[in-house]
Amino acid sequence: MSHAVILMNLGTPAEPTPRAVRSFLREFLSDPRVVEIPRPLWQLILNLFVLPMRPKRIAPAYAEIWNHGLDGEAVTGSPITYYTQRQVERLRQRLQSAGDPAVGENVVVTYAMTYGAPSLEDTVARLRTEGAMHFTVLPLYPQYSATTTGAIYSQVAKVFLKERDVPEINVVHDYWQHPLYIEALANSVREHWQKSGAAEKLLMSFHGIPKANIRKGDPYYQQCVGTAERLAEALKLSRDKWELTFQSRFGKAEWLQPYTDKTLVEWGQSGVSSVDVICPAFAADCLETLEEIAVENRANFIEAGGKEYRYIPALNAREDHIAAIEAIARSYMRTEQGCEKSPN
């Protein structure tokens, strides 16, 4: 009998083809946690406009990042899956060699994706047959949003809906202010500065969500601001040296601002010559960092007059990141509770 730790991230298409991207986007964008437009209207828009067109446009971008890593890392397949698998391996090593008998040999570490494969449902079913009694689900989203972490809570509830003896489940809510997460981010910036020198500005770009979600109570914006302020403080950066922006806008509604792409163009035009970009909301490099930030926005900035643009990789499987993830997982695991089966 054992504890199972399940790392979760968004997911990715099975292949970088329009067909596979369409199937992934259908599942992802049909989730009412992600798009809150009333169902019949959204299903119409999704089936008439988004799914016939977007996959053809996005598949070539996926093809560009497929098998491509930063700093010569030999990535295979989709980077988000590759890095999540490396995180699992490193966390497994740390937890299993911890010498803590309550955790030690009894802990199983694996991952699931909210959309695409492997699903949470399949993963939990497999772990149950292997004897897992306690589950710690760790969404790799440092900042809570109903569109990401909230969607995982919904899936957890659904997976156990038909079970009589529901196991003990802990879901990590957020970790934007965890000191080890902030420290790992700060270390990654400092290492980058040591290698390449510090640029004029540090841009902290977070994945956006619709602005209306914040008005309805999503705490995501406040947690992004909190993260950015803590990171700037750890780096001893004065307020004029950094900015917080939001990327990856989707659809016609107003999203959180300032927008990353607009800010970089304005900076290029107004004489900012060098910029370092970090994406603290992404635990693993993926399409939104490797393509949108490292390629598209670089081109925007240079075209607008900027000279040097450097993307600081996501924390991925860095040891200090895994140390943070380990501490967060442990704080949610009730190891003092044994894993024995109830007497019958």
Ligand X SMILES: C=CC1=C(C)c2cc3[nH]c(cc4nc(cc5[nH]c(cc1n2)c(C)c5CCC(=O)O)C(CCC(=O)O)=C4C)c(C)c3C=C
Interface ranges with ligand X (CB under 6 A): 10, 12, 25, 34-35, 54, 58, 78, 80, 141, 145, 147-148, 207, 209, 220, 248, 250, 281-282, 286-288
Residue 288 assigned to a binding site: yes
**Partner from ligand X, Fe ion, none binding residue 54, C-beta < 5-8 Å depending on class:** ligand X
**Partner from ligand X, Fe ion, none binding residue 147, C-beta < 5-8 Å depending on class:** ligand X
Query: Using the rule CB under 5 A, which residue among 90, 94, 134, 230 binds Fe ion?
Result: 134
Which residues make Cβ contacts (< 8 Å) with residue 84, sequence separation at least 6? Answer: 7, 9, 111, 113, 140, 284
Residue 3 assigned to a binding site: no
Q: Two tokens at 266?
A: 């304005």
3-class secondary structure, 13: coil
CA-closest candidate to residue 203, choices 265, 312, 277: 277
Q: Considering the rule CB under 5 A, would residue 61 count as an interface residue with Fe ion?
A: no
Closest residue to Fe ion in the complex (CB): 339
Q: How far is the CB of 249 from ligand X (least distance, A)?
A: 9
Based on CB atoms, which residue is closest to ligand X, 141 or 309? 141
d(CA 257, CA 120): 32
**Partner from Fe ion, ligand X, none binding residue 151, C-beta < 5-8 Å depending on class:** none
Q: Two tokens at 175?
A: 């970790």
**Helices of type H across the chain:** 18-29, 39-45, 51-65, 79-96, 120-129, 149-159, 179-196, 211-215, 220-234, 260-269, 287, 298-303, 319-332
**Partner from Fe ion, ligand X, none binding residue 111, C-beta < 5-8 Å depending on class:** none
Based on CB atoms, which residue is closest to ligand X, 1 or 253? 253
Beta partners for residue 167, in sequence order: none
Residue ranges for the known binding site are 207, 288
Binding residues for Fe(2+): 207, 288
